């Protein structure tokens, strides 16, 4: 059924929820959760621990455009920095200004 509503009437009512609403809100929740986690682990946390402490990292909706959790995290440079490879990957807070050599010692 089609309604003849003016643009201003539709704008006042708001647009219907889009299919992007839930993933966007989940992404915001994930970013908040990761920031909180980085506050608890300011010198970094392993990727495997982050997966355990942050269940949203395994959310299929958030992962659908990424081949892995690592790629999802790499798409959020405003939240975390990745350091290392494979099982030795560390998540560091995005604002980490350390010399990377100090992490290898």
Domain limits, the chain: 42-105
Give the residue-averaged pLDDT of 95-102.
58
Q: What's the pLDDT tens digit per position in 32-87? A: 999 999 999 999 999 999 999 999 999 999 999 999 999 999 999 999 999 998 88
For CA atoms 27, 96, 46, 89, the dihedral sign is positive
pLDDT band at 24 (very low <50, low <70, confident <90, very high): confident
pTM over 0.85: no
Q: Which residues touch 77 (CB under 8 Å, ≥6 apart)?
A: 94
């Amino acid at each position: 059924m089609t309604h003849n509503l003016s643009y201003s009437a539709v704008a006042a009512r708001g647009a219907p929820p889009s299919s992007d609403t839930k993933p966007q809100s989940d992404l915001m929740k994930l970013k908040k959760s990761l920031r909180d986690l980085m506050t608890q682990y300011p010198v970094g946390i392993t990727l495997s621990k982050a997966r355990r402490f942050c269940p949203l990292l395994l959310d299929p909706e958030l992962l659908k455009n990424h081949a892995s959790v690592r790629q999802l995290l790499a798409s959020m440079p405003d939240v975390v920095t990745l350091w290392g490879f494979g099982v030795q990957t560390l998540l560091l807070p995005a604002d980490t200004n350390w010399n990377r050599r100090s992490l290898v010692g």
